[in-house]
Amino acid sequence: MLANDPGGYVVQAWKTDRTDTVELPHLLLGFLEPDTFIGATLTDTGRGTFRLTGRPITDDETLSQLDLADDETAIEVPKLERTFYGAASTR
């Protein structure tokens, strides 16, 4: 995953039967920028991957910067910030 600007991520992952949906291994979410998360619904496949939907990347300039395998594509999804307010009290 690449942060493409302050408001989004480019997600490079396996193609699915829809051009706007990719399949991404769970572990790759560990590479998000600190205190951010993907602003798209993650659907667990039960196989160690999530499916998520976003805007398909189609412009040649962006695609030329990616090293896509034959079974991969890229989508853009929102990048949202999260704030940690501290742990609950354990009285």
Check pLDDT > 70 for residue 1: no
pLDDT given at position 82: 78
Which of residues 19 and 89 earns the better pLDDT score? 19
Contacts 24+ apart (CB under 8 A), 59-68: 62/4, 62/10, 66/10, 66/12, 68/12
Rounded CA-CA distance 28/90 in Å is 32
pLDDT digits (tens, 9 = 90+) for 74-83: 999 999 987 7
82 touches 37 (CB < 8 A):
yes
- Other beta carbons within 10 angstroms of residue 54's beta carbon come to 20
82/61 Cα distance (integer angstroms): 30
For 17-74, the pLDDT digits (tens) are 999 999 999 999 998 988 888 999 999 999 999 999 999 999 999 899 999 999 999 9
2: confidence class by pLDDT, cuts 50, 70, 90: low
Tokens of 8: 């989004």
DSSP state for residue 48 in the 8-state scheme? S
Identify the pLDDT of residue 10: 93
